[in-house]
Structure 1
Amino acid sequence: MPLRLPPLPALRFFEAAGRHQSFKLAAAELNVTPSAVSHGIVGLEETLGVELFVREPRGISLTATGADYLSYVSEAFSLIAIGTQRLPNHRANRPIALSCAPTFASRWLLPRLQHFKARWPNANVTVDTSHRQVGFPVDGFDFAIRLSRAPVAGAAWTRLFGEQLVPVCSPAYLESLRDEHGAPSWKKATLIHVNAESEDWQTWLEATGTEKLDPDDGLRVDTIQLAFEAASMGLGVALGRKPLVDRDLESGALVEAAFDTIDSAGAYWLVSAENGERRPELLGFRQWILAEAEQFSCDDASADIHTPQ
């Protein structure tokens, strides 16, 4: 007797909603309406005779039964995706799909991508900078680059390099902060905050012991890129994040407003499926980006040794 399976479209809705803990985000990922996701999951619950989600005014959460069922459904979709990818000649020439943050892509990845193209001229690369969670291998991505304090279960994580935090501003703005002794007066400074960043001014102020500053005052923006642009326009002092701010420091658009550079608790990681496919160009991409990261770390260490303080 053949196995009786629930409706596969409803299972897809359930997997995405369970992973995102949101009908809205699941709908955006699957290119359907939140109502379609909600109705599909209601139908699935009726078919199974169980409640998969707790629905509250502030959002949804998985029930204990739903969380247990999600682990089986996610594994099933992953096995289907991996099996499909390993079919002979399946999309043999498809692009290498990479997900990463937009500022990292524009300031670190893209300037180096020509080195990969020189080694693999026939390999195409797709870079996705949308702010969404990636599920391996279901979502079709080969790699992601993430800033995280530690690896997360469910994927293979390889550390690339760390991040350093240092205050930066325009040269003219730094001059405007100087007191009668020529030293920057932090009391005059407008702090530029990035709303989405967990490590912001509070982290730097506590680590350096800088006092008499309210870490909540100042200008707020929603991306690192906007923070750097605002600082270069003389609107205040941003918390520079190396390596993302390196280009502005090298060009002179921004300067370090203090010598106190601290290590971030997070690092950049290359993430991929634990049992992903082994296409030659994917192995080549992994080897290339790890070599670039190692070279960057060595160059950065040398610069720190020779930079006068």
Structure 2
Amino acid sequence: MSLRLPPLPALRLFEAAGRLRSFKLAAAELGLTPSAVSHGIAGLEETLGAKLFVRGPRGLSLTAAGGDYLAYIGEALSLIAVGTQRLPSRRGERAIAVSCAPTFAARWLLPRLHRFTARWPKVGITVDTSRRHVGFPVDGFDFAIRMSRTPSRGLSWVKLLREEFVPVCSPAYRAKIVGSRGTVDLARAALIHVTTASEGWQNWLEARGLEDIDCKGGLRFDTVDLALGAAVAGLGVAIGRRPWVDRELASGELIELADKGVAAETAYWLVSASEAEGRPELRGFKRWLIAEAGKPG
């Protein structure tokens, strides 16, 4: 006897919305509108005769039935994804898919990637920097590189590196904020912030015990590249994040304004599902990435 299944597209909507706890984020991940996701979920609830979500003023949450159902649907979709990946016709054509932040990709991964492709010349690499949440293995990714203070349960987490903060500016701008005693006076500087970063000026100032500097003003940008570009242009002092700022420091475009950095509380982690160990090229990529992160500089 054949099983009666709910509409599979609706289950995909439910899995994404349940995992992300948001119709909006699920819509962005799936390339749909929030309205389409909401209507799809409503149709699924009607088909099942059960309420899956509580739509409240503080956001979306799963009902008890929805939470229980999500565990089954997530596992079922994962099995479908794994089974598809293991088809003989797909093993030779599938690239390694990596999700990571744009700064990590541009300033760390890409300058090193030639060393991996030299070892595995026939393996393709797909890098996605859309910042969306990744579900393993449902979304087709093999690895994600994420920032977090601690690892989460259910996946494989390996710490790659931790940022180090140090104020930086152009040599010309430094001359503008040197006090009468020849030392840098940050109180006179325009501070440059990265709005999408969870840590920044406030963390550095507190770690150095500097309470008399107001970090509320200044210039604000949504990427590290723009913030460093503003510092190179002489617009102010930015928090340089090693290793991302090493290129500008080596070229002399930027100089450090402190003799000691402050370690970030969050770290970059390599995240993968247990199935990532099943293919030799994935094992090779994982070992290579961990080895690169352990190299100085």
**Pair in the same fold by TM > 0.5:** yes
Comparing 231-240 with 2-11, which one deviates more in the overlay? 2-11
Equivalent pair of 1:168/1:240 in contact (CA under 8 Å): yes
Aligned equivalent of 1:46: 46
Q: CA deviation at 1:25?
A: 2.0
Is 1:256 equivalent to 2:260 in the alignment? Answer: no
* Whole-angstrom CA distance in 1 between matches of 2:156 and 2:91: 23
Aligned equivalent of 1:160: 160
Counterparts of residues 125-204 of structure 1 (less than 5 Å): 125-204=125-204
Aligned equivalent of 2:243: 243
Aligned equivalent of 2:113: 113
Letter in 1 for 2:229: E
Aligned equivalent of 1:56: 56
Letter in 2 for 1:120: W
Letter in 1 for 2:36: A
Q: CA deviation at 1:3?
A: 2.7
Comparing 275-284 with 124-133, which one deviates more in the overlay? 275-284
Aligned residue for 1:160, secondary structure, equals: strand
Equivalent pair of 1:82/1:277 in contact (CA under 8 Å): no
Aligned equivalent of 2:17: 17
Equivalent pair of 1:97/1:126 in contact (CA under 8 Å): yes
Q: CA deviation at 1:56?
A: 3.1
Is 1:4 equivalent to 2:4 in the alignment? Answer: yes
Aligned equivalent of 1:294: 294
Equivalent pair of 2:95/2:123 in contact (CA under 8 Å): yes
CA RMSD in angstroms, aligned pairs only: 1.5
Comparing 54-63 with 154-163, which one deviates more in the overlay? 54-63
Equivalent pair of 1:168/1:257 in contact (CA under 8 Å): yes
Comparing 68-77 with 270-279, which one deviates more in the overlay? 270-279
Aligned equivalent of 1:303: none
Aligned residue for 2:4, secondary structure, equals: coil
Aligned equivalent of 2:208: 208
Equivalent pair of 2:276/2:283 in contact (CA under 8 Å): no
Equivalent pair of 2:276/2:282 in contact (CA under 8 Å): no
Q: How far does the alpha carbon of each residue in 1:37-87 deviate from its partner, in whole angstroms, 9 at most, with x for none?
A: 111100111122222112235542222322222122111111111122122
Q: How far does the alpha carbon of each residue in 1:196-222 deviate from its partner, in whole angstroms, 9 at most, with x for none?
A: 111111111111101211122211111
Equivalent pair of 1:166/1:261 in contact (CA under 8 Å): yes
Is 1:80 equivalent to 2:80 in the alignment? Answer: yes
Gaps of 5+ in 1: 301-309
Q: CA deviation at 1:110?
A: 0.4
* Whole-angstrom CA distance in 2 between matches of 1:105 and 1:250: 19
Q: CA deviation at 1:154?
A: 2.7
Equivalent pair of 2:53/2:60 in contact (CA under 8 Å): yes
Q: Percent identity?
A: 63
Aligned equivalent of 1:274: 274
* Whole-angstrom CA distance in 2 between matches of 1:216 and 1:15: 40
Aligned residue for 1:275, secondary structure, equals: helix
Letter in 1 for 2:89: N
* Whole-angstrom CA distance in 2 between matches of 1:265 and 1:255: 23
Is 1:224 equivalent to 2:221 in the alignment? Answer: no
Aligned equivalent of 1:90: 90
* Whole-angstrom CA distance in 2 between matches of 1:215 and 1:72: 48
Q: How far does the alpha carbon of each residue in 1:134-174 deviate from its partner, in whole angstroms, 9 at most, with x for none?
A: 11100001111112111122321111122111111111111
* Whole-angstrom CA distance in 2 between matches of 1:220 and 1:78: 40
Letter in 1 for 2:88: P
Letter in 2 for 1:238: A
Number of residues paired by the alignment?
297
Aligned residue for 2:278, secondary structure, equals: coil
Q: How far does the alpha carbon of each residue in 1:81-113 deviate from its partner, in whole angstroms, 9 at most, with x for none?
A: 112212223242211111111111111110111
* Whole-angstrom CA distance in 1 between matches of 2:138 and 2:277: 13
TM-score normalized by the length of structure 2: 0.95
Judged with a 3 Å threshold, the aligned counterparts in structure 2 of structure 1 residues 277 and 76 are, in CA distance, closer, same or farther, namely farther
Equivalent pair of 1:86/1:277 in contact (CA under 8 Å): no
Letter in 2 for 1:65: A
Letter in 1 for 2:243: P
Judged with a 3 Å threshold, the aligned counterparts in structure 2 of structure 1 residues 236 and 223 are, in CA distance, closer, same or farther, namely same
Following TM superposition, where does structure 1 have runs of at least 4 consecutive aligned residues deviating by more than 4 angstroms?
none
